[in-house]
Amino acid sequence: MSRLKVAFLYSEIAGYFLANVKELAKEADVLIFRWPIASEAPFQFEEIEGVEVLDRSQFDHISMLEKLQDFNPHAIVCSGWMDKGYLKLVKSFKRKIPTVVSLDNHWRGDLKQRIAATVSPFTLKRIFTHAWVPGSPQKKYAEKLGFPQDRILENFYVADVPLFEQAFENSFHKKTDAFPKRILYVGRYVEHKGIFELWEAYKELKEETGFDWELWCIGTGDQWDNRMQFDGIKHHGFVQANEMEHYLDQTSVYILPSKFEPWGVTIQEFAICGFPIIASTNVGAATKYVKAENGLVVNEVTKESLKKAILQLTSKSEQTLLEMGQNSHNIGVSVNNSVWVENIKSVIKAWKN
């Protein structure tokens, strides 16, 4: 087979996506159209040989189509169906090559989703040959949209495994010498992440029990100015991925209490780094990466439920928490970037055959 060519029509790119693309670029040329970089997550991205990244806002439909036609991809992957311009582009390639839609919505069975499932045979299924989802919560939705099981790929969201595996090697052993009693939150400062319930839970634990752990928070967002200022809560702002290691050996438990989180790649990232994890059932990645042997899942995002989970986990011995961290690492590395690459390669191979 000649060198592969894969095009991505993407929304907001992130470091973990480019880590997968970097692995793909070892055996394929890659073209990416992306939305402008979000101010809430101003990631800095390295250039990757064999990968061309273009700002979608700098092109009209005709110039994007010409660029894609000149690239002549073996497959196109489109992130969702909210960008009507992207859908129009994909239509130009239907039945010629595999056209893959990625989706991260959980199946909830609400009216909007039932309507989408009803009209999908006349809309999405006429444009896309395959669906690519992060895991089981989204697979059910893809099936409801009419994609047969053999046309549904999983593991669309995969962490930058080499980066976080190296971080694990560099930081985890330090905790056996001096265990840091600090909980870490990494995410946007937005209401649906459960940050206000988390801060209130921590504040009450401190006031009621003299809780001697700290809570470190990394991120920024529209609620930054409303962050709780309280003894023991440290706000570090936005941190680039390559600067994160500084915080890893100084913290030991990861928490993501989101009220809404289609997946949550940070769950896999901090599992790889060897963190016991507290997550809510709303976090899609918890279905794959949080088990009884490495963390806790809370059913409701309330101050009381978070207090209970935090106390339950942090009351364990340091040795038990270290063992849970090792379990997290083993679970986290079970899905790597090569798995992601093999997914798209398998689609192209099946199409050619």
Query: Given this model, what pLDDT does residue 218 score?
Result: 97
Report how far apart, in Å, the C-alpha atoms of 69 and of each of 90, 93, 291 are.
11, 9, 46
Structure tokens at 335: 């899905």
Structural domains of the chain sorted by starting position, each given as residue range(s) with its CATH number in brackets: 4-158+336-352 (3.40.50.2000), 161-332 (3.40.50.2000)
Q: What is the dihedral of CA 268, 151, 137, 100, to 10 degrees?
A: 70
- Mean pLDDT for 287-304 is 97
Task: Using the predicted structure, report yes or no on whether residue 245 has a pLDDT greater than 90.
Answer: no
Task: Using the predicted structure, report yes or no on whether residue 136 has a pLDDT greater than 70.
Answer: yes
- Mean pLDDT for 167-192 is 95
In the chain, the amino acid numbered 232 is G
Task: Using the predicted structure, report yes or no on whether residue 349 has a pLDDT greater than 60.
Answer: yes
Query: Given this model, what pLDDT does residue 198 score?
Result: 98
- Mean pLDDT for 291-304 is 97
- Mean pLDDT for 253-273 is 97
Sheet (strand 295-298) strand order:
233-235, 214-218, 182-186, 253-256, 277-280, 295-298
Query: Given this model, what pLDDT does residue 240 score?
Result: 83
- Mean pLDDT for 189-202 is 98
- Mean pLDDT for 143-163 is 94
A 10 A CB-CB count for 260 gives 14
Query: Given this model, what pLDDT does residue 110 score?
Result: 74
Higher model confidence: residue 2 or residue 179?
179
Percentage of residues in the chain with pLDDT exceeding 70? 95
3-state secondary structure 332-350: HCCCCHHHHHHHHHHHHHH
Least confident of 3-7, 45-49, 175-179, 192-196: 45-49
92, 64 in Cβ contact below 8 A? Answer: no
Task: Using the predicted structure, report yes or no on whether residue 242 has a pLDDT greater than 80.
Answer: no
C-alpha angle 123-126-131 in degrees, rounded to nearest 5:
90
Structure tokens at 128: 């896309």
A 10 A CB-CB count for 315 gives 9
285, 135 in Cβ contact below 8 A? Answer: yes
Residues in Cβ contact with 233 at an 8 Å cutoff, skipping those fewer than 6 apart: 199, 202, 203, 214, 215, 217
Task: Using the predicted structure, report yes or no on whether residue 216 has a pLDDT greater than 80.
Answer: yes
Mean of the per-residue pLDDT values for the chain?
93
Percentage of residues in the chain with pLDDT exceeding 90? 81
Task: Using the predicted structure, report yes or no on whether residue 325 has a pLDDT greater than 90.
Answer: yes
Higher model confidence: residue 124 or residue 24?
24
